[in-house]
Structure 1
């Protein structure tokens, strides 16, 4: 998916040295530097790739309190972006059998736990709400860097990459899932990739 959900997603032990002097604050996703894409198996022949164009997220974070980091994110389902869709295909995916955008226009994610796995990596587990169903989703996150402020912008900026997967049938989207032992359909496992930068509050 092109933000879900971004990422509250940081390697807690390393942050103090990598991001000096960033006071705990609410950072906001920079939509100009964020993407969510997803991939799903199609007939065993390819991994169909698409994404979302409109999403938002906030990240509560500071190097003085990294253990309190928390992410909330929302995706506008109607912003589904498909590569060269045939006539009617986008409307079909946004319809009741798939994303059901009219009834469930927003996908939400809230982080629950952040577990460091290395100097710049962490596992983030949270609750995703889609199609009226809440289910846990886990992603592996890499902290790419940041600064407390720069000459060209008077606020903090930090960036992450995240990768994960989910079962679409766990959210009630089971249409087209191949029967056991077959790939004739659309796979149940959806892998996603997130690139996200967050910006903080302007310095006075």
Structure 2
């Protein structure tokens, strides 16, 4: 654990013991009230998890541990909001070191020739006060194809631990891996891959 995290623990415990000092439901869930501006992903509070069917027996889960993203957010015109993200393919994590090496190889992600995946939004359409549909392009293994994701707005507020204004999101969507030239063992191993992204963005 980093020293800065050790130093902050006593503060957290103090705030918890003084419950009145911790804001209750302090996140502003009304998107129109969020702060406009440029945001950067907080890598310590972000995750990209994927899952796909394994031989009909179970859903197999993995994740990527290294993400970068920027967000140009416009609460008055959410459709003008722009998102760009980059995923380090070599950060693939399936809790199995030898299988991770295989997945990084040319038959699967080919991380040597395609070390990054990219996600760029092209259209964001609000569907309610707490959700939006995002359409964009996902580039994976050198192939760019359209993607659609449902975004849930968790809230925006000053993070009382960091003092920084923060936006929180949860996004889900599906892709077909065969569209990106990753088709080994289809259909025994599922072609449809579910993506789940949880993210906090810090205002610059």
Is the shorter-chain TM-score for this pair beyond 0.5, marking a shared fold? yes
Give, in angstroms, the shift of residue 63 of structure 1: 2.9
How many correspondences in the alignment? Answer: 175
Do structure 1's residue 172 and structure 2's residue 184 form an aligned pair?
no
1:42 aligns to 2:51 (yes or no): no
- Which residue of structure 2 lines up, in the alignment, with residue 131 of structure 1? 141
Partner of 2:196: 193
**Which consecutive unaligned segments of at least 5 residues does structure 1 have?**
1-13, 179-184
Write out per-residue CA displacement over residues 117-176 of structure 1, whole angstroms, 9 at most, x where no aligned residue. Answer: 1111011010000111100011111000012x4565443210000111000000111111
Q: Higher relative contact order at CA 8 Å, sep ≥6: structure 1 or structure 2?
A: 1
TM-score (ref. length: structure 2): 0.81
Query: 1:80 is matched with which residue?
Result: 92
Corresponding residue for 1:58? 70
Secondary structure of 1:164's match? strand
- Aligned runs of 1:16-165 on 2, under 5 Å? 16-17=32-33, 19=34, 22=35, 24-83=36-95, 85=96, 88-147=98-157, 149=158, 152-165=161-174
TM-score normalized with structure 1 length: 0.81
Displacement over 3 Å in runs of 4+: 64-67, 149-155
The separation in 2 between residues aligned to 1:67 and 1:168, in whole angstroms, is 28
CA distance in 2, matches of 1:175, 1:150: 44
Aligned CA RMSD, in angstroms, stands at: 1.5
* Alignment partners' CA distance in 2, 1:143 and 1:106: 26
Q: Which has the higher helix share?
A: 2
Structure 2: state its 5+ residue gaps.
Answer: 1-29
* CA distance in structure 1 between the aligned counterparts of 2:177 and 2:160, rounded to whole angstroms: 44
